[in-house]
Structure 1
């Protein structure tokens, strides 16, 4: 079993459609805009590993499988994996893994994966 949760802030200065495009470039599941006020969140939840197929394709097209695998393995802990992606790079269909949310000025795209077999998830994304 795998559960994938995707989240990206939509800040007041950002266009919702552009943030959605950035997320869709790495995630193909359904997305919902929640919140209001100062900022909103674009959220998605999927139980299907194939919803990460766009991320998998970008990793392959950029030929960064070894670096991606190293990043993913470092971020695994107790059946959970959190991936942080630079939102502006994702908008341009590029993968830029980050270690801290502050590395993406407009906030990162967060992908949180829970699975009883994370190695399978990592191999799917980087294999």
Structure 2
């Protein structure tokens, strides 16, 4: 399956996979979910064809009122055709959104969101637009090419 969004969550021995699945569903509406094992480490992986699958994450950024902080962090992480977002796993389990800069900031490992798009800045503008006095200056629609080709 071609994908635009990949969400990956490490599975520790003490964690319940069903709860981690709920965690993923908090931020993404995935098309496919599976367990991946490599070098003795397990991960729950969710794939989505369309960037719109991150609408829940987009809403959480607004609800938590962290658009400016998130935008700054996302802009610093943007690459040529990819955007990687690290989310604190325990905070997300408490229905809170906390972005981290480094995997070590989330003791049980972060939730890793990888977004593929030719213009990551357009994704950032959709997820976390600039604000003035806590309110978005504008709301952009989904960027062109938001779904992977079949």
Q: Could you state the TM-score of these two structures normalised by the residue count of structure 2? A: 0.77
Aligned pair count?
A: 126
**Higher RCO (C-alpha under 8 Å, 6+ residues apart):** 1
- Note the C-alpha offset of 1:23: 1.5
- Note the C-alpha offset of 1:36: 8.0
Question: Which whole-Å CA distance do the structure 2 matches of 1:99 and 1:36 have between them?
Answer: 24
Equivalent residue, structure 2, for 1:82: 84
Equivalent residue, structure 1, for 2:15: 14
Cα root mean square deviation, aligned: 1.7
| 1:100-124 residue CA offsets vs partner (Å, 9 max, x unmatched) | 1111111100011111111211111
User: Is there any run of 5+ residues in structure 1 with no aligned partner, and where?
Assistant: none
Equivalent residue, structure 1, for 2:27: 26
Which of these residues, 46, 49, 61, is aligned with residue 47 of structure 1? 49
The structure with the largest helix share of the pair is 1
Question: Which whole-Å CA distance do the structure 2 matches of 1:23 and 1:96 have between them?
Answer: 14
Q: Which has the larger radius of gyration?
A: 2
Equivalent residue, structure 2, for 1:112: 114
Q: Is the 8 Å Cα contact of residues 87 and 108 (structure 1) preserved in structure 2?
A: yes
Equivalent residue, structure 2, for 1:5: 6
Q: Is the 8 Å Cα contact of residues 4 and 112 (structure 1) preserved in structure 2?
A: yes
Which of these residues, 57, 66, 69, is aligned with residue 64 of structure 1? 66
Equivalent residue, structure 2, for 1:122: 124
Q: Could you state the TM-score of these two structures normalised by the residue count of structure 1? A: 0.91
Q: Is the 8 Å Cα contact of residues 80 and 120 (structure 2) preserved in structure 1?
A: no
User: Is there any run of 5+ residues in structure 2 with no aligned partner, and where?
Assistant: 130-150
- Note the C-alpha offset of 1:38: 4.8
Question: Which whole-Å CA distance do the structure 1 matches of 2:84 and 2:10 have between them?
Answer: 16
Structure 1 segments (4+ residues) deviating >6 Å: none
